[in-house]
Amino acid sequence: MPRLPGLIKGLGVTARTAGRTLFPKRGWKTLIPAPQKGAVTVQYPHEKEAPPDRARGVIALHEENCTACMLCSRQCPDWCIYIEGHKVKAPPRREGGKPRTVNMLDRFDIDYALCMYCGICVEVCPFDALFWTPEYEYSEPRIADLLHDKDRLGEWMETVPDFLDYETGSEQKVRKVPR
């Protein structure tokens, strides 16, 4: 049956936490209650938590780099990337050359209702056309509206943060985001 110490200790923990939440400030300011500062929760619509730079929020498309090679679409485990494209003739790179055949991207849709945010498409892209951005506010009331086309994906390109430096001891090279 209840002995005192354990029960009292428990009361102490909750009281301490309440105190820390209500009076988070130090020194004489301790007396001013500031729960907004002491609470760990973020009051979402008023203030927004910044996700880490690597956060996989949404996939942005840098359209100029995309060659419609279909790699991402084929590697996608959920079959949620739809690409259509056609070939066009482009002028040669240098004078006297032959005209080149390049791929033009007509459609690049990602169905975020299906997407599992695994990042395989970003990883397999050989031309640096797909990037993760921590942007997360793109919910839709209807599930069908979650199919985003290449214009929308392109808009997110602005929110792509630069790649982070690595911790010492790493041999990875820091990549650059095309702007």
Partner 1 sequence: MTATSDREQMAYVSAQAADARVKVELDTGDMTLNIGPQHPATHGTLRIACQLDGEQVVVAEPIMGYMHRGYEKLCEVRTYPQCTTLINRIDWLGSFANEVPFILAAERLMEIEAPPRAQWIRTILFELSRIANLALFLGDMGVQIGALTPVFFAFRDRERVLNQIEEVTGGRFHPNFDRIGGLKDDIPKGWIEETRSVMVKMRTFCDEMEDLLVGNEIFQARCRGVGVIPPEVALGYGLSGANLRASGVDWDLRRDANPGLAWDQVDWRVWTHPDGDSFARYWVRLQETREATHIVDQLLDGIPSGPIMAKVPRIIKVPAGEAYISTENPLGEMGYYIVSKGDLGPFRVKIRTPSFNNISIVPWVMKGVYVPDVITILGSLYFILGDIDR
Partner 2 sequence: MTTLLALPYWQETGIKLGLALAVIPTTSLILVYLFLFKMMAFMQSRLGPNDTGPYGTLQLIAEAIKFLQKEDIHPEQADRRVFRMAPVVVLASTFLLYVVLPAGPDAVVQNLDTGVFYAMAVSSLSVLGILMAGWASANKYALLGGLRAAGQLIAYELPLILAVMGVVIQAETLNLQGIVEAQATGEIFGFGAIGNPFILTQFIAFLIFMIAAQAELTQTPFDMPVAETELVGGFHIEYTGFRFLLFFMAEFGTAFAFAALASVMFLGGWWIPGFDVDDNILNVLGPGVMLAKILLVAFFIFWVRFTYPRLREDQLQKFAWKVLIPLSLANIVLTGIFKVVF
Partner 3 sequence: MTDETTIEETPPADDQRERLLSDLSDSLGEILVESHLRPHENIWFRVKIEAWQDAAMAAKSAGFEYFGFLSAIDWHIAPEGRYEDTEFDTGLVEEDDEPVEIDSSTGYGGGDTRFQMLMQLYSLSEQAGVILKADVGDDMTVDTVREIFPGADWHERETHEMFGISFRGHPTLQPLYLPTEFEGHPLRKDFPLLARQVKPWPGVVDIEEIPEHLEAQLEAEVMAAFESNEGGS
Q: What residues line the site for partner 3 (CB under 8 A)?
A: 68, 70, 73-74, 76, 79-92, 95, 99, 101, 103
CB 148 within 8 Å of CB 140: no
Nearer Cβ to partner 3 (84/145) = 84
Least separation in angstroms between residue 11's CB and partner 2 is 5
d(CA 46, CA 34): 17
Q: How far is Cα 42 from Cα 48, in angstroms, rounded to an integer?
A: 7
Beta strands in 35-119 (DSSP E): 58-61, 81-90, 100-111
Least distance from partner 3 to the Cβ atom of residue 156, Å: 21
CA distance 89 to 55: 39
Measured from the CB of residue 83, what is the shortest distance to partner 3 in angstroms?
7
Cβ 32 to partner 2, closest distance in Å? 15
Region binding partner 1 by CB under 8 A among candidate stretches 8-16, 84-92, 102-110, 142-150 = 8-16
Give which of partner 3, partner 1, partner 2, none residue 36 binds (C-beta under 5 to 8 Å, depending on kind).
partner 2
Q: Which is nearer to partner 1, 3 or 176 (CB)?
A: 3
What does the alpha-carbon distance between residue 163 and residue 174 come to, in Å, rounded to a whole number?
6
Q: 127 φ, ψ to 5°?
A: -115, 15
CB of 109 to partner 3, least distance (A): 9
The radius of gyration computed from the CA coordinates of the chain, to the nearest angstrom, equals 25
**Site residues, partner 2 (CB under 8 A):** 1, 7, 10-11, 13-15, 17-18, 20-22, 35-36, 38-41, 43
CA contacts within 13 A on the Cβ side of 139: 1
Q: In the chain, how long is the greatest CA-to-CA distance?
A: 96
The binding site for partner 1 (CB under 8 A) comprises 1-3, 5-7, 9-10, 12-14, 17, 40, 51-56, 75, 77, 116-120, 123, 132, 164-172
